[in-house]
Amino acid sequence: MTPSSPEALAASVPDGALLALPPDNSLPSVALAKALVRRGVRGLRLLGVPVSGFATDLLIGAGCVAEVETSAVSLGEAGFAPRFSSAVRAGSIVVRDATCPAIHTMLQAAEKGVPFMPLRGVIGSDILAHRPDWRVVQNPMSEAPDPILLVPALQPDVAAIHAVMADEAGNLWVGRRRELATLAHASRRLLATVERVVPGNLLEDERLAAGTISATYVEAFAVAERGAHPVALLDEYGFDAAYVATYARAARTEEGFRAWVEEHVFGQAARIAAE
């Protein structure tokens, strides 16, 4: 598989796509999110798998997002996600409340090719009043009263991740973040940025195979060094708390966010990184 570029990956994501992003502790592609902002994508429906963070707030602030389905949107120790909070107050995006187990279960249903899966732990909560697509039914395997929740399969149009490395065949190494394999299996398309390309076949190395997503599920990948920054990438580099805190302060206002984006997404250094 021949490496692409972040800009080419972004160009392949259509307006209105259901785009799945892993949380800040599980290898989101911030490089691809920035490329989507530069591209000017519109109407995205974002899925936090299962929570949303920096990349989601960036895309919302840039006007790329129509809807968010997630269990939370947060910048961690930097506090609330400011552009998300502003969009909710303004009513400019639709928020579909979910829970972490529900999102994972819906993806597992898509992965297995079944229309729904049962789930416990949500019955009795207020969230059911806002999710008419979730159904509480009697457990057909029990003769005693036993309500069970059914959640529908959820198949993202595109999943975007940042892996440590790809091999020449397009296999991706994600280490211990094996939940990304479920995301890859459930999604129609998987786009990835990676730190580097290595020779050989990762699936033939017993030490690396368990942490590798097969190229069968990968549509395209691009090299983007530090493409997860400012979030951490396994043992490659840590979370850049100062960078996120600076963003959070700037993004409290529309003017501050625009200035930050002009420097960090459209600025000369950002353009060089994209090239």
Which percentage of the chain shows pLDDT scores above 90? 96
Strands 116-119 vs 147-152: parallel, antiparallel or unpaired: antiparallel
If you compute the radius of gyration of the chain from its CA atoms, what whole number of angstroms results?
19
Q: Where are the domains of the chain?
A: 6-98+155-274
Mean pLDDT of the chain: 96
Confidence of residue 268 (pLDDT cuts 50, 70, 90): low
Tell me the CA distances in angstroms from 127 to 47, 50, 68, one per residue in order.
17, 15, 15
Q: What is the mean pLDDT of residues 200-228?
A: 98
What's the pLDDT score for residue 44?
98
CATH superfamily assigned to domain 6-98+155-274? Glutaconate Coenzyme A-transferase (3.40.1080.10)
pTM of the entire structure?
0.95
Compute φ and ψ for 248, nearest 5 degrees. Answer: -60, -40
What's the pLDDT score for residue 191?
98
Whether 267 and 36 have beta carbons less than 8 Å apart is answered as: no
Q: What is the pLDDT of residues 79-129, one digit of tens each?
A: 999 999 999 999 999 999 999 999 999 999 999 999 999 999 899 999 999
What is the residue-wise DSSP string for 95-106? EEE--HHHHHHH
Does residue 272 have a pLDDT over 60?
A: no
Confidence of residue 270 (pLDDT cuts 50, 70, 90): low
Confidence of residue 271 (pLDDT cuts 50, 70, 90): low
Compute φ and ψ for 139, nearest 5 degrees. Answer: -60, 115
Q: What is the mean pLDDT of residues 128-151?
A: 96
**Which of 56, 63, 67, 66 minimizes the C-alpha distance to 29?**
56
Confidence of residue 32 (pLDDT cuts 50, 70, 90): very high
Does residue 162 have a pLDDT over 90?
A: yes
Does residue 274 have a pLDDT over 70?
A: no
Q: What is the mean pLDDT of residues 234-240?
A: 97
Coil, strand or helix: which one is 10? helix
Cα separation of 135 and 114, whole Å?
Answer: 16
What is the residue-wise DSSP string for 13-53? S-TT-EEEE--TTS-B-HHHHHHHHHHT--SEEEEESS-B-
